Chains A and B, each alone.
Chain A
Amino acid sequence: MPVTDSPAIYFDGHTAGRREVLVDAGADLHGLRIKSVEGKTIAVWRFENIRLAKDSGSRDKPVLFRIVDGAEERLVLQDVEILDVLRPLCPQLMRTDVDVGTYSRIAKWGVAAVAALGLMIFVIIPMLANTLAGFISPAREAAIGRGVINQIEWLLNEGSDDDWTCTDPAGQAALNAMMARLMQDRKADYDLDVRVVDHSMVNAFAVPGGHMVFMHGLIDQAETPEEVAAVLAHELGHVVARDPIRMTLRAAGTAGLLSLAIGDATGGTIIAVAADQALTSSFSREAEAQADRFAHQMLIDASVPPSALSLMFDRLRDEHGDVEGIAEHFASHPALGDRIAAAVDATPKDFVSKPILSDQEWADLRGICDDN
């Protein structure tokens, strides 16, 4: 059914003036004819060029435009039923027109974005972090480390005001003796400080500036001083490699880069957090493996069998289970099974070991927190 003299509002695309017009459309015409109220033709839009503005918030006033170079007119139909006539006549009424070359632009910038993120995260930021770490003086790094320990204490000690560092002098002396025996004539960049804190968690960690912290739970769990020595050797590996300060700088750079790419207020946040976790742990797993290798050598030099490390890991595995498969990529440490095997492999046959502590010293170390 053709349309004649249907009212519409016409904007010519050159000025902001509005003009009342009449519209004709029908199968015998090749396009939509726009006329002045006096009946003079203003324009004819070919049907295949006509598009309807989508997702309209004023449903009774559909807006038409045409895809022709340089044409910026708008036609607002006053009678919404005309759309039913136009639909069969205008095969591309609802088409979304995409400029030529759009897809190759998406591909080009997509590759550029991935490359920029990859280059920053895997090359430039680690390089920058390593270089800048070299400019941080040992004294400053020690101060940074004290700040970190205080923050951790505040977090883990549940805000309690009691000093959580264990201070028994004999215990501390035993710990220092153990470290001296491991270090032998090796040099570190800063004064080493190892302490035990009164916390039941089975854990130990190194923070910037040569500070190492043992949670008392770990010493409780260990059956021999060699197991503690093995963990200490591992932490010394981190300290000698300056891992903590490099990791801190690196994390500062990469933090947020991934959430930038994926994050939005919806489900993307979950993915971003998981991806960030996977990424930082892949860095630290590399460092962990290196610290393990350092510890094996250090233990051999000190006549302690590296397999002591595996005994400690065995205990950890019994207590916490192991990470394997997909989960392994999200864990900050390599799978315990691999580390146990590596520690056992590192122990030479016919290894002659010497006790790292005397029985008295070991008793002192176990009792280091008794005064707390």
Chain B
Amino acid sequence: MSDLTPETIQGRYNGEGKPLFWLALKTTALTILTLGIYRFWAKTRIRRYIWSATAPGGDTFEYTGTGVEKLIGFLIAIVVLAVYLGITQVFLMFFGFSLMDMATGPDATAAETLAGALVTYITLLALTPLIFFARYRARRYMLSRTRWRGLRFAMDKAAFQYAWRGVLYFLFTVISLGLLWPLMTFNLEKFKTDRTWYGDAKFEQGGKWTMLYPAMKHLFIGVAIAVVGSGIGIAADVPVVFGVSFFVGYIWGAIGFVHYRTQSFAIMARHKTLDGEIAFKAAPQTSEVVIKYILGGLLVGLVFAVLFAPVVFATSYAFSSNDMELLIGAQIFIILGYLLSLILSGAVAIAFISQPILRHFVETSTALNPAHFDTIRQRIGDDMADAEGFADALDIGGAF
């Protein structure tokens, strides 16, 4: 191939829609039939496919994680989380009730209602650091089970440090109404990259956080259209202006969000180095990603509609007939239809949304100075008994 000059290796993706779709369909069905237990194996098998389809320079990645270790990791996480969450939630609720004392004066009733509602959400506080903690450990686990050309990846132990930084940057982002989002994106990614290894070679994240602002351009434009346009609409009392500018701003902002995610990834990838010798190029196109979302989304919608049309029809017939047996039958039909469409649309989404997007990212990535790979040596394995159990228990994680 012409792009395979000796100075670079180009990302290549060998996966196809059909085999991944069948694999996802089969593993999701098994997951439901086993009441969720098979999900650890399902995830493992999907990752094996994706990893081995990704081939920089023609050499495939390999995923060596197992379903068994994920199950054990999940059980370990349950032991820890049951104790942590059970106790913190009761205490947070108790301290939340203390807020009630602040509700005094003439507006006491309104304040009490508000405080009462706040108390309901305060228990979520215990989860926030845990989510960052789990994310870091999940990434560390994933890297430790990833090989390329026979060599392991790894990430240093630092989930606690990552968790408090994550909470801090998250607060900054919320307080600044999103203006400091690049600070969070960059510093958290740098924290992880600087602790990532390939064999005995260390990754490093260069650049600085302000370089991500250009990637936020369309997000800003979207918000500006929505705010200014609907402001004018309200001031001039023209509902059409309000509606149109809000809608346009919303769509623009949604695409701007995808643009930020895509381009901030690319900018940071271009500033990463391995062992100080190997550099990277990344040139994903936001338009390609958006188109793949839309096309894949339409396909999922179509599958859903085709499956659900008979369900809706049969159910409305049963309800109009007022026949008790028919109604029970309809309920079973709804549950089956729901599960079936869940399985199908999930499989379609993985094979025809996530995979094409991943393909685009892989194929637009390049590593420079690959000759240096020959000098990189193996590292010893990272055992990690809890695998990614915390992320599994909290049900967080990416597409794969």
The residue of chain B having its C-beta at the shortest distance from the C-beta of A137 within the complex is: B101
Chain B contacts of A56 at CB under 8 A?
A: 48-49, 52-53, 60
Q: Is the CB of B53 within 8 A of A110?
A: no
In the complex, A59→B87 CA distance in Å? 50
Chain B contacts of A13 at CB under 8 A?
A: 150-151, 378
In the complex, A254→B343 CA distance in Å? 30
The residue of chain A having its C-beta at the shortest distance from the C-beta of B13 within the complex is: A57
Q: Is the CB of A55 within 8 A of B97?
A: no
The residue of chain B having its C-beta at the shortest distance from the C-beta of A60 within the complex is: B14
The residue of chain A having its C-beta at the shortest distance from the C-beta of B67 within the complex is: A96
Q: Is the CB of A61 within 8 A of B60?
A: yes
Which one of B27-35, B154-162, B281-289, B307-315 is at the A interface? Answer: B27-35
- Chain A residues numbered 1-51 whose CB sits less than 8 Å from any CB in chain B: 9, 11-18
In the complex, whether A315 has a CB less than 8 A from a CB of chain B is no
In the complex, A252→B78 CA distance in Å? 18
The residue of chain A having its C-beta at the shortest distance from the C-beta of B31 within the complex is: A266
In the complex, A280→B229 CA distance in Å? 49
In the complex, A125→B374 CA distance in Å? 57
The residue of chain A having its C-beta at the shortest distance from the C-beta of B127 within the complex is: A256
Chain A contacts of B299 at CB under 8 A?
A: none
In the complex, A15→B378 CA distance in Å? 6
In the complex, whether A200 has a CB less than 8 A from a CB of chain B is no
Chain A contacts of B46 at CB under 8 A?
A: 55
Whole-angstrom distance from the CB of B223 to the nearest CB of chain A? 30
The residue of chain B having its C-beta at the shortest distance from the C-beta of A268 within the complex is: B36
The residue of chain A having its C-beta at the shortest distance from the C-beta of B339 within the complex is: A267
Choose from B19, B101, B394 the contact partner of A260 (Cβ within 8 Å).
Answer: B394
Choose from A17, A249, A260 the contact partner of B393 (Cβ within 8 Å).
Answer: A260
Q: Is the CB of B60 within 8 A of A147?
A: no
Chain B contacts of A320 at CB under 8 A?
A: none
Q: Is the CB of B373 within 8 A of A17?
A: yes
Interface size class of A (residues with CB under 8 A): 35 or more
In the complex, whether B264 has a CB less than 8 A from a CB of chain A is no
In the complex, whether B113 has a CB less than 8 A from a CB of chain A is yes
Q: Is the CB of A253 within 8 A of B87?
A: yes
The prevalent SS among residues of A at the interface is helix
Q: Is the CB of B89 within 8 A of A252?
A: yes
Whole-angstrom distance from the CB of A12 to the nearest CB of chain B? 7
In the complex, A250→B90 CA distance in Å? 7
Chain A contacts of B52 at CB under 8 A?
A: 53, 55-58, 63
In the complex, A143→B102 CA distance in Å? 10
Q: Is the CB of B60 within 8 A of A57?
A: yes
Chain B contacts of A265 at CB under 8 A?
A: 395
The residue of chain A having its C-beta at the shortest distance from the C-beta of B115 within the complex is: A147
In the complex, whether A206 has a CB less than 8 A from a CB of chain B is no
- Chain B residues numbered 70-98 whose CB sits less than 8 Å from any CB in chain A: 71-72, 75-76, 78-79, 81-83, 85-87, 89-94, 97-98
Q: Is the CB of B112 within 8 A of A264?
A: no
Chain B contacts of A106 at CB under 8 A?
A: 68, 71-72, 75
Chain A contacts of B85 at CB under 8 A?
A: 256-257, 260
Choose from B55, B86, B93 the contact partner of A120 (Cβ within 8 Å).
Answer: B86
Whole-angstrom distance from the CB of B175 to the nearest CB of chain A? 27
In the complex, A55→B377 CA distance in Å? 27
In the complex, whether A363 has a CB less than 8 A from a CB of chain B is no
Q: A-facing mask of B44-63, CB < 8 A → 1, else 0?
A: 01101111111100011010
In the complex, A63→B36 CA distance in Å? 30
Q: Is the CB of A117 within 8 A of B78?
A: yes
In the complex, whether B137 has a CB less than 8 A from a CB of chain A is no
Q: Is the CB of B97 within 8 A of A140?
A: yes
Q: Provided the pairs A113-B75, A252-B92 are in contact, do residues A18 and B116 lie with their beta carbons within 8 angstroms?
A: no
Whole-angstrom distance from the CB of A160 to the nearest CB of chain B? 15
In the complex, A9→B199 CA distance in Å? 19
Q: Provided the pairs A106-B68, A154-B113, A252-B93 are in contact, do residues A14 and B378 lie with their beta carbons within 8 angstroms?
A: yes
Chain A contacts of B50 at CB under 8 A?
A: 57
Q: Is the CB of B90 within 8 A of A128?
A: yes
Q: Provided the pairs A9-B59, A268-B36 are in contact, do residues A14 and B377 lie with their beta carbons within 8 angstroms?
A: yes
The residue of chain B having its C-beta at the shortest distance from the C-beta of A139 within the complex is: B101
Q: Is the CB of B68 within 8 A of A120?
A: no
Q: Provided the pairs A56-B52, A63-B52, A263-B395 are in contact, do residues A109 and B72 lie with their beta carbons within 8 angstroms?
A: yes
Of the listed residues B59, B86, B198, B343, the one surrounded by the most CB atoms of chain A closer than 10 A to its CB is B86
Q: Is the CB of B100 within 8 A of A147?
A: yes
Chain B contacts of A263 at CB under 8 A?
A: 395
Whole-angstrom distance from the CB of A143 to the nearest CB of chain B? 4
Q: Is the CB of A266 within 8 A of B28?
A: yes
Chain B contacts of A9 at CB under 8 A?
A: 59
In the complex, whether B123 has a CB less than 8 A from a CB of chain A is yes
In the complex, whether A72 has a CB less than 8 A from a CB of chain B is yes
Q: What are 7 A-B pairs at a CB distance below 8 A? A: A57-B60, A63-B52, A63-B60, A113-B75, A147-B119, A151-B117, A265-B395
Residues of A whose CB lies within 8 Å of any CB of B are 9, 11-18, 53-59, 61, 63, 72-74, 76, 98, 102, 105-106, 109-110, 112-113, 116-117, 120-121, 124-125, 128-129, 132, 135-136, 140, 143-144, 146-148, 150-151, 154, 248-250, 252-257, 260-268, 271
State the 5 A-B residue pairs at the shortest beta-carbon distance, nearest first.
A57-B53, A147-B116, A11-B150, A252-B93, A109-B75
Extra A-B contacts (18), CB below 8 Å, given A109-B75, A113-B76:
A13-B378, A14-B377, A55-B23, A55-B48, A56-B49, A58-B14, A74-B150, A128-B90, A136-B94, A140-B98, A140-B100, A144-B100, A248-B93, A261-B78, A261-B393, A266-B32, A266-B346, A267-B339
